[in-house]
Chains A and B, each alone.
Chain A
């Protein structure tokens, strides 16, 4: 493996509190050293990148993506989804288990993570928390953990049964892994296709209430408290794509009480509201749905005050013909792996003053902690050389047609972005390059 020298970059590494102009030396796929500019001039390194004017951060980590393989490769494959991820600055993604069949065995997990799938970057997976994601019988946590699972989830569906959820938290706690919950009380959301509110009323669509999300979050937090006191274990609940002020308030309180709860927010939830569904725009249909402005602002507030631990895209590709149907029949989900940084910088940094370093933490260091990645998510010497180079001031317009994802179902076609990825380096290899970075 050849060595690589990145010169004159503005290095941002929240884990080591680094925020300065530096040169970064990569050797054998790992971070070798970070020194003041010019420190490595005596070395003979063939591959160099002049990163003047660019920010250099640990590669982004997305704990929530759908890659559709096996079973739905017309929407996306591991190869295409991870190439799109690289274009978005990601060097690690965690595949959700709602493939066809559901990833609920060591065999399917191994198949998914095999080199033959041609992942462009580091691929991890959370297998199903219950067999077939049916919410009834736990999968084999110990074997799955040995096989590389970084957590367990039935994403797309909640674990509704109290006893099953309790068992999932207890069993995962013994492995030291999180249970990642899609918080939706589906007993309250039958036939619903968007957020309950005035827009849904005007459009004549049945709406999901905020309680459908917060009830499950509150139930899960109560289970954590119970397990901690009864079993002497410290279970880790990770709440996926939180979208309501009510659920965020519950999570904030649980954190203050010292429970091990983490959560993620998706860029679409801090950027858009249910107004985006006007005209029955199926490219704005997702679950949890786009909410009211008060909820959007609550998500931003929770990001600013640290209640939200990380940004996750919930990248959910669907083919055009699947979205070109009656609104209520259209599948949930949007692509998002290439627009996350551009939206985070535009909305969180420019509009709400969140420092760029904090956004980097939300996209790399913090997600690494949630899934216990020891040698990623920071630029510490010896870590994998997972690096993103981006221009934080670049203003550009996202064009869905140019997306590397197989699917183009995004509400952000032609949307303004702030901050552009110029290069993505995964374990020392340049896996994506844009524009003039060289």
Chain B
């Protein structure tokens, strides 16, 4: 049995979860990204001229915040940042009331980063505004999955301006690390199989419980990184958050031994593998510094695609044709 009451729908411009995107939606986002990218800067800056976008960050994030902010500014939008470190989030004020206040102040879309899973759903429901999920708790980071997807398409020499159910056919993506706590892993593991990719999750049991198989019917789990790598076209590494290991029976030295992505591992098992990491990285823990900076790495490109994808998401949120 499922839920008996239907929750009010959110604004169609929202992006709360990759599961709310159809394949045509994904395709349209890619196409818009390409079109915006090709525009001369002055023309691009007219797309959202005079529009107001609020960035609501309850959790600090230099990368994602700057990416969204620069994307919005490049489109001519006015942005305002409300962070937990600023005085703007009144002490104790609820997320609902903060959202309603931002709406009253003229915000037309809200980009939300929050440490509680599902916070963007709540904000979208309470304000009716388009809400872009910039990472919520252990739940999702949908714009990251889209930028990862675009990075794969360009680096694998595929069409970067359209998506289909088979566009990643033949591509095996190995996602390695703390999948239990990773919103990046969830969004990628739910999105990439729908685009034809084979997705293998890799990590020790405490970081990768069997429930992860429920992310998509085609998901696979492989505990041995070498075995996973030997099948991989893409190796997506995740940050190990040391503070989250408390209470889990995990030995850091053993983790490095078993799961660090090293030059030796790549040479032995996957010389052509595309190396990705959503950042921030801990060099020397989940990934060797040489690998992060090496020829297989697409880490810097991911950041560039992030900016591009977010322009398309903003344009979509505000209902503008680009």
Q: Do A and B originate from a single complex?
A: yes
Interface residues of B in 1-33 (CB under 8 A from A): 1-7
What are the interface flags for B122-163 relative to A under an 8 Å C-beta threshold, 1 for contact and 0 otherwise?
Answer: 100010000000001111100000000000000000000000
Q: Which residues of A sit under 8 angstroms from B136, Cβ to Cβ?
A: 204
B96 touches A325 (CB 8 A): yes
A204 touches B138 (CB 8 A): yes
Task: Judge whether A197 is part of the interface by a CB distance below 8 angstroms.
Answer: yes
Interface residues of B in 209-228 (CB under 8 A from A): 209, 211-215
Known: A324-B96, A324-B126. A412 touches B5 (CB 8 A): yes
On chain A, the number of residues with a Cβ less than 8 Å from chain B's Cβ atoms is: 37
B2 touches A280 (CB 8 A): no
On chain B, the number of residues with a Cβ less than 8 Å from chain A's Cβ atoms is: 32
B151 to chain A, nearest CB (A): 23
B138 touches A279 (CB 8 A): no
Interchain CA distance A203-B137 in the complex, whole Å: 9
Known: A200-B211, A202-B214, A203-B118. A283 touches B139 (CB 8 A): no
Task: Judge whether B95 is part of the interface by a CB distance below 8 angstroms.
Answer: yes
Interchain CA distance A410-B4 in the complex, whole Å: 10
A203 touches B139 (CB 8 A): yes
B183 touches A204 (CB 8 A): yes
Task: Judge whether B249 is part of the interface by a CB distance below 8 angstroms.
Answer: no
B118 touches A326 (CB 8 A): yes
Contact of A281 among B3, B116, B117 (CB under 8 A): B3
What are the interface flags for A185-210 relative to B under an 8 Å C-beta threshold, 1 for contact and 0 otherwise?
Answer: 00000000000011111111100000
A325 touches B94 (CB 8 A): yes
A278 touches B5 (CB 8 A): no
A413 touches B5 (CB 8 A): yes
Contact of B5 among A198, A283, A326 (CB under 8 A): A283
What are the interface flags for B166-192 relative to A under an 8 Å C-beta threshold, 1 for contact and 0 otherwise?
Answer: 000000000000000001001000100
Task: Judge whether A327 is part of the interface by a CB distance below 8 angstroms.
Answer: yes
What are the interface flags for A385-414 relative to B under an 8 Å C-beta threshold, 1 for contact and 0 otherwise?
Answer: 000000000000000100000000011111
Task: Judge whether B114 is part of the interface by a CB distance below 8 angstroms.
Answer: yes
Q: Which residues of A sit under 8 angstroms from B183, Cβ to Cβ?
A: 204
A29-37, A217-225, A268-276, A367-375: which lies at the interface: A268-276
Q: Which residues of B sit under 8 angstroms from A275, Cβ to Cβ?
A: 1-3
Known: A201-B214, A325-B95, A326-B95. A273 touches B4 (CB 8 A): no
Task: Judge whether B121 is part of the interface by a CB distance below 8 angstroms.
Answer: yes
Q: Which residues of B sit under 8 angstroms from A276, Cβ to Cβ?
A: 1-4
Q: Which residues of A sit under 8 angstroms from B118, Cβ to Cβ?
A: 203-205, 280, 326-328
B5 touches A205 (CB 8 A): no
What are the interface flags for A226-238 relative to B under an 8 Å C-beta threshold, 1 for contact and 0 otherwise?
Answer: 0000000000000
B3 touches A203 (CB 8 A): no
Q: Which residues of B sit under 8 angstroms from A283, Cβ to Cβ?
A: 5
Known: A204-B186, A413-B5. A280 touches B214 (CB 8 A): no
Interchain CA distance A393-B215 in the complex, whole Å: 41
Q: Which residues of B sit under 8 angstroms from A200, Cβ to Cβ?
A: 211
A272 touches B1 (CB 8 A): yes
Q: Which residues of B sit under 8 angstroms from A201, Cβ to Cβ?
A: 209, 211-212, 214-215
Interface residues of B in 26-53 (CB under 8 A from A): none
Task: Judge whether A54 is part of the interface by a CB distance below 8 angstroms.
Answer: no
Closest residue of chain A to B179 (Cβ to Cβ) is A201
A326 touches B4 (CB 8 A): no
A361 to chain B, nearest CB (A): 25
Task: Judge whether B276 is part of the interface by a CB distance below 8 angstroms.
Answer: no
Interchain CA distance A321-B214 in the complex, whole Å: 33
Interchain CA distance A89-B118 in the complex, whole Å: 37
Residue positions of B touching A, CB distance < 8 A: 1-7, 94-96, 114, 116-119, 121-122, 126, 136-140, 183, 186, 190, 209, 211-215
Q: Which 10 A-B pairs have the closest CB atoms?
A: A204-B139, A198-B214, A280-B118, A204-B138, A326-B116, A201-B211, A204-B117, A415-B4, A276-B3, A413-B5
Contacts A205-B139, A278-B3, A326-B122 known; 9 new A-B pairs at CB < 8 A: A204-B138, A271-B4, A275-B3, A276-B3, A281-B7, A284-B3, A325-B96, A328-B137, A411-B5
